Chain A
C-alpha cells in the first residue's frame, strides 16, 4: 500500500509490504503474463492519491473511527480485567485486541444506518466483539449477553461466540471455521437478485483458508459477480497453530486471486489503509463489479481465548488459556506487533492530519474508558435468565415441551 502518513514505523512496514507485493507481481507477470489482482499495491504507488479515500473524509468521520477503535480496545481490556479480578464474572471471550483497525476500517466504509433492507450486512465468523462494536451494536447489551443476562442482546441464549444484532446489519457470529463465508455470499446473492445496492461482508481468519467453504465461497462469488467482500484477518494463528500449517502461501490473497477475484493485501494495524481497501471494495460491489478479497495482516495480542479465573502473567500476553499446552508463539513476536498498535497508529494519523490535538485524543480515550466501564456496570447488574425460557424461540411461536423430567 502507498505510504500515507509520516510516522517512521509504518513507513518501514508499508515499504516492506509494498516491495514484497511488487516482487510477487513482477514474478507472476513475468511467469504467466497474467496481470492478476495482486497488482493493487503497485497501482496505488503509481497513482498517488487516487483511491486514497480516507483523506477526503470529514473530521467527524475520522474521529468516529478512532473512537470505535478505542471502544473495542477498552471493551477487551475491561473484560479481561473482569476475568482477572471479579469472581462473580462468568463471561468468556475470543479476544480481538490488536485487530481493532480491521473491523473499524471495514465497517466505516459500510452503510450501517437505515432500514434493514438497505443497510450492508456483516457476518463475523469468529472473535466477534470487535466486528459487532464496529458495526454499531449497543455495547451495554452486548456486555450483558456475554455474561448470560436475560436482557442481553440475545436474551442470554447466544453468549460471546454467537452474538447477533440484525437491526444494525450485524448478522452475527457462529464461532466456526467454515460456514460463515458461504452463508455471507448467499446474502450477497439475494441482494443482487433483488436489485439492491447492499453489500455483504464476511470477516474470517487465516484458519478458514483450509476449509472447503473458503474455496466454494470465492468461486461462486466470482462466477455470479456477487456484491461480496471477504475480509481475511490473517493474525498468523488459528487457535495455537501458525497459518503455515494450513496454507502454503505467504499471502492468502494469492490463493484468492486464482479465483479471478480482485485482491488487496493491507496493513491491518492501520485503520485508514484498511478503510481505503474496504472503500474500493464497497464501491466495486455497489457498482455491480463483483467481489473483492481483502487480506489484512494483523495480530491478536491475547491468547486464543480468555475465561473467568484468569491469572495474570501466566502463558502469553493475557495469561490464561486452559487449552494452551505450551507457549505457542514467541514473546518477542507479541512485543514486536504491539509496537505497531492500532490505537497509537490511529491517534498519530489524526494528530498528523491536524484533525485532533494530541491531548484531545488522549482525553477521548479516558472518556471511552469511562463509557465502557459504565457499560459493564449496567450489563453485570442485569437479571439472570429464567430457566424455563430455554424452551422458547425454537420456532417462531410457542414453546417446546420439557423432556428432562421424563
Chain B
C-alpha cells in the first residue's frame, strides 16, 4: 500500500494482467504507457513487453478501436488507450459492431477487450473539438458494452482489473481532469465490480448522484451541506452500463429527494437515466438535474467556468430542495 497517482494505479493493473497473460496486447498513440510514483519502480509497458505486444501507432483511433476488437475475436485479451482528440472516432465500431456481436452471433463471439477512452476539456480554454465530457452519454447508451467511469485512483485500478478480466467488452472512461488525484492504493490486484455504484456518504435528507469528473465537487458540496446540518447521501455511479438501479432506488426511497450532477450536456446526461429509473420505483420523491447546458463548451474561461456545474451550483440546488 502506498500513495499512488491515478495513472500509476491504472498501469499497475495493466502490467499485472499483461504479466499473467502473455497474449495480452496494449495499443496506444502519443500517450506512452509510462508512469512513475515516489518509492515505486517505474512502469513502462512498452519496454517491458516489447513493441509486438505494446504498440505505438499512428494517429488512427479507428484502427486502434477495431484492432483490439479483432484481437479479442481471435482469442487474445486486448486493450487500447484512446486519447481525447479521437474520443468518438471509435464509436462506430463499438456501437455497431462490438455492442451487437455477442447477441447477433447467438452468444458465440468472445470479446475480452477494453477501450480506455479519455474525457477531457474541463480545463478552460480547450473548447470545441477538444472538449468531450459528453461522451459518457453516448457510450452508456450501447447495449452489449459495459461502460464504467472511475472517480478515484483506487476505483481506477480495481475497475481496470475487472474490465480486463471481464468476458464482455468494456468502455473504460477516463476523466482526465482527475489525473492529479492520489490516494492509498493496494499493491496487490483487486477488482471493483463493473456493475455496482458506491455510496460515498450516508444521509437521509437528500441523495446526490454523480460520476467521474463530477465527483470531487459533489463531495465538497456535500461536506458544506453536512456542516449546515443536512444529511446528504452521495452516490458515485461508477457503472453507467449496467447501471446499479438498486442502490439508487434504496437511497431515494429513504431520502425522497434526488439531485443529479453531471459535466455532460443536460439532454440525456447520466442523471436523466438515474432520475427515470428512480421515478419508476419510488413514489412521492422530488427531482432536480444539474448539468452542462446544451451548448458546446466555449473557449473563454469566463463563459466556460460559468456554464460548468461547480460546488456553488450543487450547494444552491441542494438547498432549494431541502
- A residues with a Cβ closer than 8 A to B are 90, 92, 148, 150, 156-159, 161-162, 174-178, 207-212, 238-241, 245-247, 325, 384-391, 394, 400-406
Contact = CB atoms under 8 A, between A and B. Distances in A.
A208 B58 CA distance: 8
Contact of B32 (A176, A211, A325): A325
24 contacts: A148-B125, A148-B300, A148-B301, A156-B299, A157-B300, A159-B127, A159-B299, A161-B126, A162-B299, A174-B129, A176-B85, A207-B58, A211-B62, A246-B57, A388-B303, A390-B298, A390-B306, A391-B307, A400-B294, A403-B289, A404-B308, A404-B309, A406-B259, A406-B316
A177 B59 CA distance: 7
Contact of A405 (B295, B303, B317): B317
A177 B289 contact: no
A308 B301 CA distance: 14
A162 B129 contact: yes
A331 to B, nearest CB: 21
Given A176-B85, A207-B58, A211-B59, A404 B125 contact: no
A98 to B, nearest CB: 21
A157 B292 CA distance: 16
The 3 closest A-B pairs by CB, nearest first: A210-B58, A246-B58, A406-B317
A88 to B, nearest CB: 13
B60 interface: yes
A402 B307 contact: yes
Contacts of A156: 298-300, 302-303
A170 to B, nearest CB: 16
B14 interface: no
Given A161-B127, A245-B58, A400-B294, A405 B300 contact: no
Contacts of A161: 126-130
Nearest to A393: B295
A391 B62 CA distance: 33
Contacts of B317: 405-406
A241 to B, nearest CB: 7
Given A241-B56, A325-B34, A403 B290 contact: yes
B57 A406 contact: no
B304 A406 contact: no
A251 B63 CA distance: 22
B293 interface: yes
B90 interface: no
B320 interface: yes
Interface string B31-47: 01010000000000000
A158 B12 CA distance: 38
B62 A212 contact: yes
B234 to A, nearest CB: 16
B201 interface: no
A325 B7 CA distance: 14
A404 B293 contact: yes
B30 interface: yes
Contacts of A401: 293-294
Nearest to B266: A403
A235 to B, nearest CB: 14
Contacts of A385: 298, 300, 302-303
A178 B295 contact: no
Nearest to A240: B30
Given A178-B86, A211-B58, A391-B293, 8 more contacts: A161-B130, A210-B60, A212-B63, A239-B30, A247-B58, A394-B294, A400-B294, A404-B313
Given A158-B127, A210-B59, A210-B60, A404 B34 contact: no
Contacts of A178: 59, 86, 89
Nearest to B83: A239
A157 B304 CA distance: 9
B291 interface: yes
Contacts of B290: 403-406
A381 B299 CA distance: 18
A394 to B, nearest CB: 5
A114 B320 CA distance: 56
Interface in B1-55: 30, 32, 34
Given A176-B129, A177-B86, A390 B59 contact: no
Contacts of A211: 58-60, 62
A211 to B, nearest CB: 5
Nearest to A247: B58
A387 B310 CA distance: 14
Contacts of A400: 293-295
A287 to B, nearest CB: 34
A82 to B, nearest CB: 15
Interface string B185-197: 0000000000000
